[in-house]
């Protein structure tokens, strides 16, 4: 018997995989479709609401991203009068990550705004936030134009080649949010000749602070930086690809030491003010990883600052660990100047959070990277802020097809 696909939203009976794509066969949506804009605007309102915000702060960010002004601007861009026309790509199959639940919301919303039919595969390991997002979408669909329920579908299914194949066969665009293994596995299911993949492989990120600029900054600015670092580090168990795992201080040794001493104290104050709890398994995990790096000679010091934060002093910046080290762990290293950062950046670095550097310094750093990937250079505190540009892709462009038009005669009035 073939594996059945669970229909999570809109809900329906378990369905054989080959009968899932026809459920979203209605091709009645246009790019920037008003009916989609209405639903997204109402979801935005829900997610910006006090209750949602209290349960899941990540939802507020999603709600803010989908605020009416932003929707209007994106809609205008999609439907604008360039030298051509943007249209939906067709059926988009999404494999969002199970760790950063909110990505499911962003990716689906942008693709729906582009007028696509969407099938979103919800991971069985997804957490409470995903369940909340699906609930809210189901509620919104209930009062929305029925075209939504005929074009958008969230499904669950066990890992099963038959199901993966059946869904892949019918899509025009497949979106896979890493990691590398998942991408490799899912790519075994062939797409139709015309279809393509948009993949987000394993990435990692780091934060850099200009030590001298930090010491020159007024107290309020230092405190804001500490809060920003916490915003970047603490959500999603620090496991998002844009979560910084290392903090590199740039400057001479005494300056860097003084800056770090001050910043560390401010992070502690910030964390203490947030009243966070670390679950016991995570506390042990952090010890295993930190002790392991000490055993390997990578970390010269392993310091636990309160219950939440752990700092690994890495004397040789070239050996900065890149793997996930648990929630609330920063590897701390120092380099002399901004240009030295280039040597630390690998092809897998995605986001560089920065403080205290000039525009030209950052541009020169990026230029010196050659073809190595680094997609985002953002102020510390905004590493996790989702943008329609992600991993170097403009999602509004990826989620639409562009028909070029040239050689026209003037339209009749």
What is the binding site for another protein (CB under 8 A)? 6, 95-100, 123-125, 156-159, 164, 176-183, 185-186, 200, 202-203, 236-237, 239-241, 277-285, 287-288, 290-292, 294-297, 299-304, 307, 313, 324, 326-327
Among residues 69 and 295, whose Cβ is nearest to another protein? 295
What CA–CA distance (Å, rounded) separates 109 from 115? 10
Min separation Cβ 175 and another protein, Å: 9
Among residues 171 and 302, whose Cβ is nearest to another protein? 302
Among residues 247 and 384, whose Cβ is nearest to another protein? 384
Among residues 49 and 179, whose Cβ is nearest to another protein? 179
Min separation Cβ 16 and another protein, Å: 16
- Sorted by sequence, the CB contacts under 8 Å of residue 179 that are 6+ apart come out as 201, 202
- 289-321 exposure pattern, b = at least 16 Cβ within 10 A, e = fewer: bbeebeeeebbeebeeeeebbbbbbbeebeebb
Among residues 243 and 400, whose Cβ is nearest to another protein? 243
Give the number of other Cβ atoms within 10 Å of residue 233's Cβ: 26
**Beta carbons of 114 and 400 less than 8 angstroms apart:** yes
Among residues 287 and 401, whose Cβ is nearest to another protein? 287
What CA–CA distance (Å, rounded) separates 154 from 138? 10
**Beta carbons of 167 and 154 less than 8 angstroms apart:** no
What CA–CA distance (Å, rounded) separates 238 from 324? 8
- Sorted by sequence, the CB contacts under 8 Å of residue 234 that are 6+ apart come out as 271, 274, 276, 308, 327, 328
Min separation Cβ 94 and another protein, Å: 9
- Sorted by sequence, the CB contacts under 8 Å of residue 202 that are 6+ apart come out as 178, 179, 180, 241, 348
Min separation Cβ 156 and another protein, Å: 5
Min separation Cβ 118 and another protein, Å: 15
Min separation Cβ 217 and another protein, Å: 28
């Amino acid at each position: 018997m073939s594996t059945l696909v669970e229909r999570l939203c809109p809900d329906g009976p378990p369905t054989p995989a080959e009968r899932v794509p026809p459920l979203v066969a209605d091709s009645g949506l246009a790019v920037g479709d008003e009916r989609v804009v209405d639903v997204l605007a109402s979801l935005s309102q829900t997610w910006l609401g006090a209750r949602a915000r209290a349960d899941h702060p990540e939802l507020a960010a999603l709600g803010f991203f989908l605020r009416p002004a932003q929707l209007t601007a994106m809609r205008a861009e999609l439907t604008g009068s360039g030298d051509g026309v943007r249209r939906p790509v067709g059926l988009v199959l999404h494999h969002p990550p199970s760790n950063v639940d909110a990505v499911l919301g962003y990716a689906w919303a942008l693709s729906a705004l582009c007028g696509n039919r969407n099938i979103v595969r919800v991971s069985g390991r997804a957490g409470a936030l995903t369940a909340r997002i699906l609930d809210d979408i189901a509620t919104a669909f209930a009062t929305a134009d029925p075209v939504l329920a005929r074009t958008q579908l969230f499904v669950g299914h066990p890992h099963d080649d038959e199901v993966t194949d059946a869904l892949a066969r019918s899509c025009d665009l497949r979106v896979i949010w890493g990691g590398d293994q998942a991408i490799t596995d899912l790519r075994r299911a062939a797409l139709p000749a015309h279809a393509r993949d948009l993949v987000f492989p394993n990435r990692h990120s780091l934060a850099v602070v200009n030590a001298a600029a930090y010491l020159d900054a007024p107290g309020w600015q230092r405190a804001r930086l500490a809060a920003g670092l916490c915003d970047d580090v603490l959500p999603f168990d620090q496991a998002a690809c844009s979560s910084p795992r290392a903090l590199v201080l740039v400057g001479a040794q005494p300056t860097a030491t003084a800056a770090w001493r001050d910043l560390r104290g401010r992070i502690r104050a910030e964390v203490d003010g947030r009243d966070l709890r670390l679950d016991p398994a995570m506390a042990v995990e952090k010890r295993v990883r930190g002790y392991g790096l000490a055993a390997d000679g990578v970390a010269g010091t392993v310091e636990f600052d309160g219950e939440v934060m752990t700092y690994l002093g890495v004397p040789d910046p070239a050996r900065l660990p890149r793997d996930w080290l648990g929630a609330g762990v920063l590897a701390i290293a120092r380099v002399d100047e901004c240009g030295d950062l280039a040597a630390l950046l690998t092809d897998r670095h995605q986001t560089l959070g920065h403080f205290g550097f000039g525009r030209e310094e950052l541009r020169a750093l990026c230029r010196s990277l050659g073809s190595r990937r680094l997609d985002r250079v953002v102020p510390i505190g905004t590493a996790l802020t989702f943008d329609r540009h992600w991993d170097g892709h403009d999602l509004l462009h990826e989620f639409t097809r562009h028909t070029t038009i040239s050689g026209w005669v003037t339209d009749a009035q």
